Amino acid sequence: MLKHRGFPSRLSGTDFQFTIRRGNPRGITPLTRRERYRDRKAVDRLADAAFLAALWEHFGEAPFERGNLDAGRLSWLFGREVVAAEDPFDPASYEALLRVDRRAAEVSFPDVFAGGSA
């Protein structure tokens, strides 16, 4: 499992994790698209925005390996702002390639991209 050095491990001051320390010996948690409802708590939306900002800062639009990125946090963005970068895509692989879909991300999280292009 690739460890993304320099990637924030969590949202500062919270228990929202962005990375995992080690792979799951009982099996890899697959990525699934989680539905984001309008009544989600503000701190949950903040965690999504901070995670997306970290992804954008580290990878931009280039494909990246899932590696040690937290499956739960990725799943809140998966299928919208974060999409598969390979076909066929294995949602239960640490080596799976993903990429940020800037168009979708700008619509959902305009504040992340308010400073212009990266």
The string of pLDDT tens digits covering residues 30-72 is: 999 999 888 889 999 999 999 999 999 999 999 999 999 999 9
Q: Evaluate if residue 20 carries a pLDDT over 80.
A: yes
pLDDT averaged over every residue in the chain: 90
Burial 7-18 (b: 16+ CB within 10 A, else e): bbebbeeeebbb
Q: Could you tell me the pTM of the whole model? A: 0.89
Is residue 29 within 8 A of residue 20, CB to CB? The reply is no
**Distance separating alpha carbons of residues 87 and 83, to the nearest angstrom:** 11
Phi, psi of 51 (to 5 degrees): -65, -45
The one-letter amino acid code at 91 reads P
